Amino acid sequence: MIPRPNTNLAGAGWNGGLTQDIVVVGDDNHLYDILFWDGGSNPGSYPWFLYDITVTGEQQSQAKMPPPVSSAATPRGGSALAVFTSPGYSMGSYNVQSIGNVLAYIGGSDDNPVVEAVYLDLGNPLNLTQASSTQNYPPAAWSSLAAWGWLGQGSQHVVYADYNNHVSELYSVRSNYAWSYNNLSVHTGYTGTSAPRVKSPLAGYAFENQETQHVFYIAQDNTIRELVYSGKWSGNNLSLETKAPYPMADGPLVAYVNEYDSTQHVIYIAGNGDIQELWWSSRTGWVAGQPDLTQTTGAPMPAANSALAGYSCEWERSEHVIYVGSDGDLYELYNIRGSWATTNLSGFPWIVATPPIDGTPLTGYSWVNDHTQHVFYIDINKNVHELYRQGDTWATGVLSGGLTV
């Protein structure tokens, strides 16, 4: 499998099933799931397997694994990808279970795009546009995606930009597979210049400690906007509230929540090329990191077309931002116990990591199952490449190069 030149990457770890899923679009326009499943053995043994999601399960030829999905619709060219762990059901506040990782993407054609979902560990593809009766509110052909599961409510959520540039939400509660639709731009009044700009990134999550949901994007007036749900949807202009530098034109944006200290974080590349953080606590509200993360850490500037990945590591009480530097190396900015620092992930002498391809997508996450961290990119040999950390040591491996369907 060779990744498609304009593919995105998305991934997540599902602790309940001891699996990790990395999804990429191949040059045959099929969706591929690179799946880790070994019942908890050492990640260095590399029990990764490749599944072609687009074909039927009988056509798979890998070792004994959880049943693969089958007959999923092909993605639209350049489709955004989002993988999240979906909660299954809730019987009271403390009895929530997971049903596995879910892939959200945009299928169909440019003139008739639809939002699709694939339940990776259940083998269940679903056209969300049809399931939620949103045929009149299709995604824009250029739309980004944000998706998450909300454990406290037993719900799953997929957010996209529709053909009016409005933020649309598809959601399902308590795993009854009945999907519903919300126009969040209309609910909040964030339309017109307050709506997402064309090709704006989208980020979102559930904040379990606060029982809230949050969506972030870059508006047509080049400000960073937040849509927040706390019983009902409302909106904030974070650029106005924090007086932070405006984002770089067509730049990336990521967001994550630290449940361990009840803080929220939005990371983007500012107009001056530096990596900027906005963060929230109940004591301060939203504020801008001063100085920005590039100046704070002394890290190299990001490449002009660098993507961003960001995630929280709950057991370590840390946060991590990944980007490609102007020198072509892969860098990590990390915050442990309130102090930001940087690591050149391409610069460890014991890591033989092939450099990233120009403009590579990035994704990353922490996996509580075995206390590891994982970063993925596409290297110059057109392979999906992983950097993973267990304890204090980073290691590397090629995922797609040695895997065949």
8 A C-beta contact, residue 195 and residue 167:
yes
Give domain status of residue 405, yes or no.
Answer: no
* pLDDT score recorded for residue 58: 41
Q: 232: buried, middle or exposed (CB in 10 Å: 19+, 13-18, 0-12)?
A: exposed
- Burial classification of residue 369, based on how many CB atoms lie within 10 Å of its CB (0-12 exposed, 13-18 middle, 19 or more buried): middle
Q: Is residue 364 part of a domain?
A: yes
Give the mean model confidence (pLDDT) for residues 98-103. Answer: 79
Instruction: Reply yes or no on whether the pLDDT at 91 is more than 70.
Output: no
Report yes or no: 15 and 370 within 8 Å, Cβ to Cβ.
no
Torsion angle of the four alpha carbons 98, 100, 14, 180, in this order, in degrees rounded to the nearest 10: -80
For residue 306, the model assigns a pLDDT of 97
Residue 93 has what pLDDT? 41
Tell me, yes or no, whether 41 lies in a domain: yes
Tell me the pLDDT tens digit for each residue of 297-348: 999 999 999 999 999 999 999 999 999 999 999 999 999 988 999 999 998 7
Note whether residue 380 is domain-resident: yes
User: What span, in angstroms and rounded, lies between the C-alpha atoms of 265 and 240?
Assistant: 16
Q: Which of 73-77, 296-300, 387-391 has the lowest mean pLDDT?
A: 73-77
Residue-range definition of the domain harbouring residue 332: 9-398
Q: Is residue 319 part of a domain?
A: yes
Global confidence as pTM: 0.92
pLDDT of residue 152: 87
Q: What CATH number does residue 317 fall under?
A: 2.120.10.70
Residue of 229 and 371 predicted with greater confidence: 229
- Give CA–CA dist 333/310, Å, rounded: 9
2 is a domain residue: no
**364 vs 87, 176, 188, 256, 355, CA distance in Å?**
20, 29, 31, 12, 17
pLDDT band at 134 (very low <50, low <70, confident <90, very high): low
Give the tens place of pLDDT for each residue, 57-66: 444 444 445 5
Higher pLDDT, 398 or 356: 356
For residue 135, the surrounding DSSP H or E stretch is none
Q: 37-69 burial string, b = 16+ CB within 10 Å, else e?
A: beeeeebeebebbbbbbbbeeeebeeeeebebb
* pLDDT-derived band at 68, boundaries 50, 70, 90: low
HEC profile for 353-368? Answer: CCCECCCCCEEEEEEC
Q: In the prediction, which pLDDT does 241 show?
A: 97
Mean per-residue pLDDT for 271-287?
A: 97
- Give the whole-number percent of the chain exceeding pLDDT 70: 86
pLDDT tens-digit map of 338-376: 899 999 999 877 777 899 999 999 999 999 888 899 999
What per-residue confidence (pLDDT) applies to 126?
Answer: 81
Residue 3 lies in a domain: no
d(CA 76, CA 64): 31
Taking phi over 0 as left and psi of -120 to 50 as alpha, with beta for the rest, 296 belongs to alpha
pLDDT the model gives residue 128? 85
Predicted local confidence at residue 88, as pLDDT: 62
pLDDT band of 92, cuts 50, 70, 90: very low
Q: What proportion of the chain, given as a percentage, has pLDDT over 90? A: 59
Average pLDDT of span 34-40: 72
Structure confidence at residue 175 as a pLDDT band (50, 70, 90): low
pLDDT exceeds cutoff 50 at 151: yes
Is the residue at 91 inside a domain?
Answer: yes
Q: From CA 39, how far away is CA 33, in angstroms rounded?
A: 18
Band (pLDDT 50/70/90 cuts) for residue 185 is: very high
When the pLDDT of each residue in the chain is averaged and rounded to a whole number, the result is: 87
The count of structural domains within the chain is 1
